[in-house]
Structure 1
C-alpha cells in the first residue's frame, strides 16, 4: 500500500505530522510512504508548485495524503505558478472529479456550533462537489472595454457527461446513506445550471430507491443554517460546492473538523485512488506556532483508509478515537480551547 504524502505549506506540515503519528499507531503491514513537495514550498525549491517528480509520486501511489497549499509570499506570482495550482493541477492531471465532504456534529460539540444546539445536533450530511469543471477550469482573462475600462471574465460551463458522472457518484453515495439527494444549482438564472438539472433528473431514473429534490444555491445556503438536519446528500458544481461545504463546516463547529476525499475513476488493488485533505487551507497566520487543529487531517486519513485502502475497520477506529477525544473535552483554539497541535495528536493516539 503506497501513500504519497504532500504536507505543503503553512500549517500543512504540522497537521500532517500528527496524522502520520496516527497512521503509525495503526501498525499497518506493507505500508510505503512517499513524501513529495507541493505548493509554495515546491515553487521555492523547484520553480513550480507541482514539479514533475511530485506528479510522478502521485501517479505511483494508491492514495495521496495532502496538507494544504497557500503562501502569501507567492501572491505576486503569475497565476500558473501560485501555490494553489498544485491542488488544481493534481485534480486535473489525475482525473479527480468527485469531492466528498462529510459534515456531522460530534456528540458534545453542540456548544461549538454557531447554531442553536437543537438545530446543530441534527447535522449529518455529505456534500458531493464536482471538481474538474465550472469557472475554476473554464477560460478566463482580463480585457479592456471600448471605453478603456478593465473587465475580468470567467467562463462557467459543464458538458452533460461531466454532470452525469458526478451525479452517479452522488446517487450511489445517497444509496449508502439515507436515500435522499438534493441537487443544488441556479437553474432560474444560469444556462449551465439548467443543463445540470436536466441531466441529474435523467440519471435519477437509474436510482429509483433515491429520493431526488432540487434547491437553488441561495436557498440551499439559507436552509443550511435554518434546518441543516433536512439534508442527507447534496450534489452541486465546483463553485457552489466550495462555498456550501465551508458554510457546513461552521455549522458543525469549526473548519478544523472537516475532512475531504477527491476521487476519480481509477481503481487500485485496494479501492479507489484518491486525494485526501483537510479543507481548512494553509492558515499562514498561525503556521509554525503549534496551534493548528489536526483533526480534519486525521479524519481525512480515515477517509483514505476507507475509500483507497479498503480498511473499514481501521477507518472506524480513527473516527472513534477522534470522537472520544472531543467528547473528553480536547479542544484546539478554533473550538475555544487551549490544546495545541501536538496535544490533540497525543489525545487521538492515546484513544486508539
Structure 2
C-alpha cells in the first residue's frame, strides 16, 4: 500500500496517549513485516487541545481530519476540566468531529471471545457466542437538536430541556448502513425506539420499515422498544444480530452490549460518513468506547486492546485490508487465549500485565503468525 494513505492520530486525554502508543507499535510492525505504511500526523483534541489551543477541537484539527483518509481517536475528558462551561468541555471535541465530517453511522461490535466468556458478569451459557453489531446514528437526535438549554422560570426555578429531532433522510441513511451490514452477517436488524411515547420514535419506525420493504426485503426487520431491548440484551443477547438505534438509545444500548463482553476496555468502534460518489472516499473515525478513564491514567495498567482493535476496524473499513485486519484480530484472540490479562479483564489463574506488556504481546504474536 502506498505511503500516501493519510492517517490522523488524536490521542486525546487520560489513557488515550497510553493505549495509542501500543497501536503505534502495531503500525511499526506492519510497516516492517507487511509493507503497509501510512503518512501519519498527530493532532490535538479534548482537554489536551483546550490546554494548548483554548478549544476542545481547534479548526486545525478539523482540517487535518478532513484531509486524512482515516482518523484514529483515543479518548477525551477528565475531572481537570469538569468546571468548564458546557460549551467548552473536552467531550465537545468528538461531537464536532462527527458533525463537521458528517460521521453519521457509529458501528460498535460486541463480540464475546471464547477466552473471555468467564469475564462477563452474566452466566457463561448466556453470553457464549454473542456477536452483536450496534449501529448508532451519531449526528442527529437529542445530542444536537435545538432548542436546548437551561432556563430560569418566573418563579425562580430552573428548567433544562433538549430536543430529540430527526429528518427522515437522517433515519434512512443510517438504516441502509444497518441493513447492508446485516446482509454480510446473519440477515437480521432489530430497530429500537420509543414509538409508544415519542413522535420522533414513530417517524423512526415508519422510515426504517419503508426502507426495509422497498430496498431490503430479504433482511428480517424486528421493531423493539428501547427499554425492552435493554432487558433482552441481559436475558437473551444471542437473539440479536444488528441493533439499529438513534443517537441516545444507540449510545446507551451499545454500552450495555459492551458489558456483556466483560470490559469496555475490549471494544472498538467505527464512525463512518457517506461515500463520496465521485472519489469513492468516505470520512471515518475509529475509537475505543472505554473513554479516558482518568482514575487509572498514567498508571500503565489500561487495556490497549480496544484501541488496537479499533485500528483493525480502520484497516478493514477505510483501506479494505481485510486480511491484515483479521491477522490483527486473531493475534489479540491468541494473546488472550494464552492467559494474559489487564486488570479490567483479570480472571483467576491468569497472568496480570500492564498496558505495555499487553501491546508487546500482540506484536510478538503477530511475529509468530507471520513467520
Same structural fold, with TM-score higher than 0.5 when normalized by the shorter chain: yes
1:121 and 2:125 are equivalent in the alignment = no
Q: 2:356 aligns with which of 329, 333, 342?
A: 342
Question: Which residue matches 2:221?
Answer: 212
For residues 173-204 of structure 1, what are the alpha-carbon distances to aligned partners after superposition, in whole Å with 9 as ceiling and x for unaligned? 11111100000011001001000000000000
1:95 and 2:99 are equivalent in the alignment = no
Preserved contact between residue 102 and residue 125 of structure 1 (Cα < 8 Å):
yes
Question: Which residue matches 2:369?
Answer: none
Question: Which residue matches 1:167?
Answer: 175
Aligned residue for 1:276, secondary structure, equals strand
Question: Which residue matches 2:157?
Answer: 149
CA-atom RMSD, angstroms?
A: 1.3
Unaligned runs of 5+ in 1: none
1:301 and 2:316 are equivalent in the alignment = no
Gap change, CA 1:332 and 1:270, over 3 Å in 2 = farther
Aligned residue for 1:290, secondary structure, equals coil
Question: Which residue matches 1:180?
Answer: 188
Residue 110 of structure 1, CA deviation:
1.1
Preserved contact between residue 15 and residue 297 of structure 1 (Cα < 8 Å):
yes
Unaligned runs of 5+ in 2: 367-371
Partner Cα separation in structure 2 for residue 22 and residue 269 of structure 1 = 29
Question: Which residue matches 1:310?
Answer: 320
Partner Cα separation in structure 2 for residue 6 and residue 235 of structure 1 = 27
1:61 and 2:100 are equivalent in the alignment = no
Q: Provide the TM-score with structure 1 as the length reference.
A: 0.98
Question: Which residue matches 2:287?
Answer: 277
Q: 1:239 aligns with which of 232, 248, 253?
A: 248
Q: 2:208 aligns with which of 181, 200, 210?
A: 200
For residues 49-97 of structure 1, what are the alpha-carbon distances to aligned partners after superposition, in whole Å with 9 as ceiling and x for unaligned? 1112111111111000000000211111122211101100000000000
Aligned residue for 1:315, secondary structure, equals helix
Partner Cα separation in structure 2 for residue 45 and residue 37 of structure 1 = 8
Question: Which residue matches 2:24?
Answer: 20
Residue 147 of structure 1, CA deviation:
2.4
What is the number of residues matched between the two proteins? Answer: 352
Residue 158 of structure 1, CA deviation:
0.7
Partner Cα separation in structure 2 for residue 33 and residue 16 of structure 1 = 13
Partner Cα separation in structure 2 for residue 235 and residue 29 of structure 1 = 34
Residue 144 of structure 1, CA deviation:
2.0
Preserved contact between residue 138 and residue 247 of structure 2 (Cα < 8 Å):
yes
Partner Cα separation in structure 2 for residue 35 and residue 298 of structure 1 = 17
Q: 2:53 aligns with which of 46, 49, 59?
A: 46
Partner Cα separation in structure 2 for residue 260 and residue 22 of structure 1 = 18
Aligned residue for 1:143, secondary structure, equals strand
Partner Cα separation in structure 2 for residue 256 and residue 64 of structure 1 = 19
Partner Cα separation in structure 2 for residue 93 and residue 272 of structure 1 = 13
1:322 and 2:332 are equivalent in the alignment = yes
